[in-house]
Amino acid sequence: MHKAVRLALCLGLGTALSTSLAHAAAPHVAPVTVNAPVTLVDNGDSWTLDNGIVRMTVLKKNGTIGLSSLSYHGVDIVPNRNEFWEATPGGQVTATITIDPATNGGERAEVSIKGINPGGGPETANDGTQGPGKLKNGGMDIEVRYTLERGTSGFYTYAEYSHPASYPAAGFGENRFILESMNKSFDWLSVDDDRNMLMTSDDDLQKGVVIHAKEQRILTSGLYKNSVEHKYSYNAIMYKLKAWGWSSTKDHVGVYFINPSNEYIGGGAEKLDLIDHMSGTLLDYWTSGHYAGGAGNHIPQGEDWKHVVGPIFVYMNALDSAEDASPKDLDTFQASYGSGDPAVPKAWRDNALALWNDAVEKSKAVKAAWPYAWVKGMDYPLKADRATVSGQLVLDDAQAATRALPHLTVGLSHPDYQSNAGGYQTRYGTGTTVTWPHDGNYYQFWADGSDDGHFSIHNVRPGHYTLHAFADGVLGEYARADITVEAGKDIDLGKLDWQPVRYGRQVWEIGVANRNGDEFYKGDEYWLWGWPLRYGDLFPKDVTYTIGKSDYRKDWFFEEVPHSTTDAWKNPAAKDPLNQRFGWVNLPDGQKDMWRDWGQGRATTWTVKFKMPKVQSGTAVLRIALAGADGLAPNTPGLAIGVNGQAVGALHPVQTNALRYNTDKGVWYQYTQTFDAGLLKSGDNTMTFTVPAGDVTTGVVWDYVRLEVNDGSQSYPVPPADGRPDMPRGPAQ
């Protein structure tokens, strides 16, 4: 019997469906037809919640979902382990029913597990047995809840973290809700339009050989043979996510996470993190050390603090009609193993996209319903106690080509604050001042604005905030302090004058100031492993870019790294090893980590050629925005800059793991390098950027480059002496 037919029968859609599926049909997601009352059964040491669609058992001792107890219409979702929040309730644990379905006609059930844990002592070290930030001896009360409602194809879960002022200092480096090692039938991963793909099997993954880092393996068998599987290939900007998860090409079932709001996620609108990866893993981080943003929190003794994460929604769906792959398609698929261009049957792709697109559509309703009226007994303001902050940003920049603000993003964050926690929270180049991209302590509220600058930020909690904004084509960001939001009182800020900083007259620019490298060559495929190896063959003479003639989309690579000096990494059977997505990597020598042979490169120098109409005077200011950097610490030569053959300085940018972990949009920083404008001559000029020899995953991920000259004829601000326009300049006022 057809897989979709079997599942449809389970869903109660009728036997007539099998006849309709005898003919080819576009995949269709099964509507929710079950409307049974929610039941809640007390098992003594656990509860079982069931609405006829989803069934789950929650353990009272720690608030985890019991082993092999989460099912969707009888399909075991996680048969291999308990599923949980990263930090679970500890200390004095109390389990209670917070919504009893017996009192509401079976409309909703909710259970709570709360740990009162004043404890004391430091956070647990990352010793490999506990996640960084798990509390060793308490210091934080944790309450976890699970909610199931009638007729809903999924469940909600949320957690409140409380730190009374009397508790010792405490915090988290990493914290997340996770479903891991899901049913092995889940073989299709969905992140976005590009990363929607059939995944390698666990068996092939385990046979692979580690290269460069424990998360990376050269696959020696299976569909993606001669490729490297890397879990960090499946990262995403949390703010932009709609729904992400896994589905089964066999059973046509999907499981997806949806964040109804991003207010509780550290790092704000730029937080990049892992969201799902091989071995059927689904992740929803609210703090982590990945990519140096929203990296953790630290609550000092004396501060009374609470943070509610979620409710997040775990959505499940199924097809009631699915396309079948023909025997010919399956034969072609089998023959394509390891080719670099796997011929995944179109039917499988159509089925998986139907499930994912349904989850994306579902996310609209889930997000629109926020905040949820049924959340009670936590620090969670309902709709009437929140507010909308609106206004219009007006760009005031005589040198801008347009006053439009494409991809405008506007947000409210906690004012900058001081933390001496070190570790995850303050190690990323801001000293002891925590700024919004690194803040994991407090709520943030972000919204997309329109090209004409209008914005509305909804559902803002009462509090004291700083308004921030950034947009494509505008270097830097807007900031306005002292925004006070009161419960139920909307605020219209009116027109806000945005004057981006200019240090002189603009001479030229490369790229678009948009906080990522998408527009540069191969930037749209940043997530694929190994571009630092391939760079040297894509640009054998390195980059020479002529202002006014070159095209940054083709002539400027998205990352500048040491130039590989070997081609031993190439699969000799690959048709196009420099451009194909998969199958271009040579097989390892036994179990040897081939990075020792492949991973080094010579110094790389890029050259920018440009003309000047006359000899210059005054101060030249080179402005560089980076979407990521690795390995150019102060004890290295850094990114060396030269003008017409003379060294003018070097940058030692903040390291963000962007190159090591496959991204072109990590935490964003801008830098300035000043030099005597007299070095610029009439006619032809050159500027060089040199990355030193070393590991090919060191270097920079480019966002934008601009040259400005202040000849004294107009008044301009003086660039910061430390070359860091965004560097906090001391304690917040």
Mean pLDDT across the stretch 296-311?
A: 94
Instruction: Give me the pLDDT at residue 126, please.
Output: 39
In this predicted structure, the answer to whether residue 394 has a pLDDT above a threshold of 70 is yes
Instruction: Give me the pLDDT at residue 81, please.
Output: 83
DSSP secondary-structure letter at 654? P
**Single-letter residue type at 455:** F
Q: What angle do CA 635, 639, 640 make, to 5 degrees?
A: 100
Q: What angle do CA 590, 281, 664 make, to 5 degrees?
A: 75
Mean pLDDT across the stretch 146-154?
A: 98
In this predicted structure, the answer to whether residue 667 has a pLDDT above a threshold of 90 is no
Mean pLDDT across the stretch 189-211?
A: 94
Q: What angle do CA 201, 204, 207 make, to 5 degrees?
A: 150
* Per-residue pLDDT tens over the stretch 153-189: 999 999 999 999 999 999 888 899 999 989 999 999 9
* Per-residue pLDDT tens over the stretch 613-664: 999 999 999 999 999 999 998 999 999 999 999 999 999 998 888 998 888 8
Instruction: Give me the pLDDT at residue 225, please.
Output: 95
Instruction: Give me the pLDDT at residue 1, please.
Output: 38
Mean pLDDT across the stretch 193-209?
A: 94
Q: How would you classify the pairing of strands 305-321 and 28-29? A: antiparallel
Instruction: Give me the pLDDT at residue 17, please.
Output: 35
Alpha-helical (H) ranges within 369-441 are 423-426
Mean pLDDT across the stretch 58-75?
A: 94
Q: Determine how many CB atoms are found less than 10 A away from the CB of residue 141.
A: 23
Structure tokens at 316: 């499940």
Structure tokens at 71: 């099912």
CA atoms within 13 A of residue 233's CA, in its CB half-sphere: 25
* Per-residue pLDDT tens over the stretch 30-41: 999 999 999 999
Instruction: Give me the pLDDT at residue 424, please.
Output: 61
Structure tokens at 140: 């934080």
In this predicted structure, the answer to whether residue 236 has a pLDDT above a threshold of 60 is yes
In this predicted structure, the answer to whether residue 125 has a pLDDT above a threshold of 60 is no
- What is the spatial distance between Cα 66 and Cα 75, in angstroms, rounded to a whole number? 15
- What is the spatial distance between Cα 292 and Cα 51, in angstroms, rounded to a whole number? 41
What is the end-to-end Cα distance of the chain in Å, rounded? 69
Q: What is the mean pLDDT of the chain?
A: 91
Alpha-helical (H) ranges within 309-396 are 327-335, 346-368
Instruction: Give me the pLDDT at residue 29, please.
Output: 96
Mean pLDDT across the stretch 112-123?
A: 77
For the chain, percent of residues with pLDDT exceeding 70: 92
- What is the spatial distance between Cα 223 and Cα 202, in angstroms, rounded to a whole number? 12
Among candidate residues 286, 271, 310, 306, the one with its CA nearest the CA of residue 436 = 271
* Per-residue pLDDT tens over the stretch 406-432: 999 999 999 999 887 766 666 666 678
* Per-residue pLDDT tens over the stretch 532-558: 999 999 999 999 999 999 999 999 999
